[in-house]
Amino acid sequence: MDLTKPLRCIVKLGGAAITSKNELETIHEENLATVSSHLRKTMVSGSSSENTIGMDWSKQPGKSDIACPADDFGEHELGLASPFIVVHGAGSFGHFQASKSGVHKGGLDRSLVKAGFVATRISVTLLNLQIVRALAREGIPSVGMSPFSCGWSTCERNMDAVDLHGVSKAINSGFVPVLHGDAVFDDSLGCTILSGDVIIRHLAENLKPDYVVFLTDVLGVYDRPPTEPDAVLLREIAVDGYGRWSVIRPILPNGNKEVEISVAAHDTTGGMVTKISEAAMIAKLGIEVYIVKAATVHSLRALSGEIRGKIPDDWLGTVIRFSG
């Protein structure tokens, strides 16, 4: 199924940005609320915090009442300015369960792996539901779509049987699909973990968004771990036709363009190298990728598409783009 409108953006909500990394299964509520409000501003036409009409009509934990603005919908015009897809990582959800059981290594005939598969799916689904609810409270018509339930599977950890019909149909019907890293079946291993970054590359290849934004917990990609005192934020990285990348800005002191780079310290599925190589694969398609700190003015600007083509001097983040 083709998209009836071009896909504007795929947004990755990094696990490190929207969960509290040191606390098991804990949402970073403040970041998630800010990110959700940024997404509302970017996605929903004519929206403001005053006229937002929430779509989460379920009880909030610890409260007995339901906020249902059904009566306010009379004349309300609600529309997505343009199609978006949201994909989130796991952060402090799912990781404990996956690593305890080794579900990423496969072997579903082992009881522990099978139990870990169940436990991992429960944990990431808990997170997915909380993110869908946060977006819905901002009036974003979001629908959770778990890769496992969508029937997606891998073969030797590469995406294999992937039918995008459901995602496309949701987008064409005016919804924002919210996908996530998930435990899935793998044709050779039995099962594995399909990471959010791999999902994004696959979606980008097939649905050709105008741009892709990775929201993370640091300003962007650094030349070394961002906790080190002399770490330099890389502003622009170019990717050539072979997927090789080099640093364009800033010009690094040692003249070395191929530095050991580092994104979020708490990216767990695959780590920095996977993230950069997935981003490079996307950029190679001619799609600009922005890696930027969540819940900041910089991420709002990246989401709005303001960075496309020309990077403002006062914008902090990393742009990865194709330069044939």
As annotated, the binding site includes: 90-91, 95, 196, 217, 271, 275
Check binding of 18 to its own copies (CB under 8 A): no
Bridge partners (DSSP) of residue 142 are: 176
Torsion, CA 69, CA 12, CA 169, CA 211, rounded to 10: 110
Residues in binding site for substrate:
90, 95, 196
Pairing type for strands 236-239 and 245-249 reads antiparallel
Residues from 62 through 101 that contact its own copies (CB under 8 A): 64, 66, 68, 70, 73, 76-78, 96-97, 100-101
How far apart CA 193 and CA 44 sit, in angstroms, is: 32
Contact region with its own copies (CB under 8 A), list: 150-158, 194-202, 217-225, 229-237: 150-158
Q: Work out the number of other CB atoms within 10 angstroms of the CB of residue 63.
A: 8
Q: Would you count residue 61 as binding its own copies (CB under 8 A)?
A: yes
Q: Which helix (H) or strand (E) holds 185?
A: strand 182-186
> DSSP string spanning 108-165?
TTSHHHHHHHHHHHHHHHHHHHHHHHHHHHTT--EEE--TTTTT--EETTEE-S---H
Region from 5-13, 129-137, 275-283, 313-321 binding its own copies, contact rule CB under 8 A: 129-137
User: Looking at 13, 16, 17, 55, which residue binds its own copies (CB under 8 A)?
Assistant: 55
CB of residue 108 to its own copies, shortest distance in Å: 6
Residue 116 near its own copies by CB under 8 A: yes
> 76 or 208: whose CB is closer to its own copies?
76
Task: Work out whether 118 is an interface residue with its own copies (CB under 8 A).
Answer: yes
Amino acid at 78: L
Candidate residues 45, 51, 149, 158; the one interacting with its own copies per rule CB under 8 A: 149
Q: Does 129 bind its own copies (CB under 8 A)?
A: yes
CB 79 within 8 A of CB 44: yes
Determine how many CB atoms are found less than 10 A away from the CB of residue 318.
Answer: 28
**What is the closest distance, in whole angstroms, from the C-beta atom of residue 131 to its own copies in the complex?**
11
Which of 6, 51, 112, 156 lies at the binding interface for its own copies (CB under 8 A)? 112
Note whether 25 binds its own copies by CB under 8 A. Answer: yes
Other Cβ atoms closer than 10 A to 240: 14
Cross-sheet strand order for the sheet of 318-322: 142-144, 176-180, 84-88, 9-13, 211-216, 288-293, 318-322, 236-239, 245-249
Is 1 one of the binding residues for its own copies (CB under 8 A)? no
Picking from 146, 156, 207, the residue whose alpha carbon sits closest to that of residue 178 is 146
Site for its own copies, residues 172 to 191, rule: CB under 8 A: 173-175, 185, 190-191
Least separation, in Å, of the C-beta of 84 and its own copies? 14
Contacts with 29 (C-beta within 8 Å, 6 or more apart), sequence order: none
Report, in Å, the least distance between residue 77 CB and its own copies. Answer: 7
CB of 117 to its own copies, least distance (A): 8
182-186 and 190-194 beta bridge pairing: antiparallel
Q: Which residues sit at the interface with its own copies, rule CB under 8 A?
A: 24-25, 53, 55-59, 61, 64, 66, 68, 70, 73, 76-78, 96-97, 100-101, 108, 110-112, 114-119, 121-123, 125-126, 129, 132-133, 136, 139, 141-146, 148-151, 153, 163, 165-166, 169, 173-175, 185, 190-191
